[in-house]
Chain A
């Protein structure tokens, strides 16, 4: 496991050194807070949002889920790049175990998300977000599970797809509808029954519900255990698939 840690630290150091990293990864959520938040305030005033009329309280926890969806969803690019540059090949000739190599990439993705999530909660606080400490810690844990799920899928795809553009297309095709149907932007209850029905099959819907409950410290909310159950299962399955894929691709 020391090897996995070494790989993860190496990746993180490289990521953090990129001057655009901090800006680019938090740019999108902050823009949402800045520009979409006030719009949502209008909605809250005229129509009311579930959980009160504070738009930030409704919106900010969902941003954490959205960030996990996109940031981890595009992790595959990192791996593709490392495969193309010969970096992975170089590591494969060292005594590092294949599992450690795989877990190194998952670990760096998870640590990355933890940092970003904490930064987002702090940002949210500036926009008037109230957060419960205990609930937030659980929320970050849930975000990590979502991250493992998304990055495993993304990494697995990167092993098969050599073209970056195609990879981006595939990821977007799945991430975008999953995001909208999760009710991050607007409550799904605003939509017609058909949308509400389809959304029930979107695992991220439960994650977003849980994120709102957790930020308020409502740990006992049924959405919380449901989201954890779903994403523990999904992360185990997708991670298994990625590990197997890695074993085949880089024997």
Chain B
């Protein structure tokens, strides 16, 4: 694709593990992100999201494959790429004892703006993002949310074509998260392509035009949130149990039932994919009831991205792999 702003072919990254074994963090990644998209990499920690992003924004050199970012070759023209991209890392990277404004000034000048230009652009962003109240305080006094908005401002100081956001809302309160989302949407409307990583399903769902679900260094599925959810036909019935033994016993009772399209044992709960939940539910409850393993709790839901992830990888995104 020539109109994609990110294009990768068989991009991979191998690290030496603690015991000198080879860890394949990213394997044969083929990806195309179109201009103007908000594209999300969704997956648990350790799935290779951040490694992928660090490669794409010239921080980490790939072990193999190739990539074109904003029309330039990643291996040969990283310097050109850097002019056109913005990056907001997980740590932000603000100078703690300098003010937010000073941080922006430095960033602007590193993008070859004159002092006057830098001042004008910093003021403009500070006003637009409503940061005036604390722009001249040291950044070490900022709240997580305030700091993150400043990080964002510093990432777009040079109006990049492509903005990378690494876990933009991790550790933020819901209000700050909403603000980050709002700003990402504004940038999107202005034509900026946004590439983000997240392990929040809500974030991918609410923000992204397309999502790639990554697991163990590979893309498991790619598409719009709606498309991905469509892969799971019908409804999901979740049965909760007191303990794993009872759940397992009920799981065996449900073996071979034709109404169940697919089922997963999640420890103390069972997840059942069915065509029509309203019709299947009474039948399923009857079976586990008669088998002396009635469920402690029951829920009937429409599929979420979590269910897509579960279906693709056999593991839940919320459970073990969620937070670090």
Contact = CB atoms under 8 A, between A and B. Distances in A.
Interface in A3-28: 3, 6, 10, 13-14, 17-18
Contacts of A18: 97
Instruction: Tell me the interface secondary structure of chain A in the complex.
Output: helix
A95 B98 CA distance: 21
Contact of B95 (A6, A87, A92, A93): A87
A96 B86 CA distance: 13
A101 to B, nearest CB: 10
Interface residues of B, number: 29
21 contacts: A10-B102, A13-B98, A13-B102, A17-B97, A18-B97, A85-B94, A85-B96, A86-B90, A86-B91, A89-B59, A89-B89, A89-B93, A90-B92, A90-B94, A92-B58, A92-B59, A93-B58, A93-B59, A94-B107, A94-B110, A251-B60
A31 B259 CA distance: 85
Contacts of B61: 251
Interface of A: 3, 6, 10, 13-14, 17-18, 84-96, 251
Interface of B: 57-61, 79, 82-83, 85-87, 89-98, 102, 106-107, 109-112, 154
A85 B82 contact: no
Nearest to B112: A95
A95 B79 contact: yes
Contact of B93 (A17, A87, A95, A96): A87
Contacts, number: 67
Nearest to B57: A93
Contacts of B90: 86
Contact of B92 (A17, A86, A95, A251): A86
A10 B85 contact: no
B58 A85 contact: no
User: Which of B90, B98, B154: most chain A Cβ within 10 A?
Assistant: B98
Given A14-B98, A94-B82, A89 B91 contact: yes
Nearest to B138: A17
A90 B92 CA distance: 7
Contacts of A87: 93-95
B97 A14 contact: yes
Given A90-B93, A90-B154, A10 B106 contact: yes
Contacts of A17: 97-98
A14 B103 CA distance: 11
A86 B110 contact: no
A10 B89 contact: no
Given A3-B110, A95-B82, A95-B110, A86 B97 contact: no
B67 to A, nearest CB: 15
B99 to A, nearest CB: 10
Given A86-B92, A90-B92, A90-B94, 7 more contacts: A6-B106, A6-B110, A87-B93, A87-B95, A89-B89, A90-B89, A95-B110
Nearest to B78: A251
A94 B59 contact: no
A18 B85 CA distance: 33
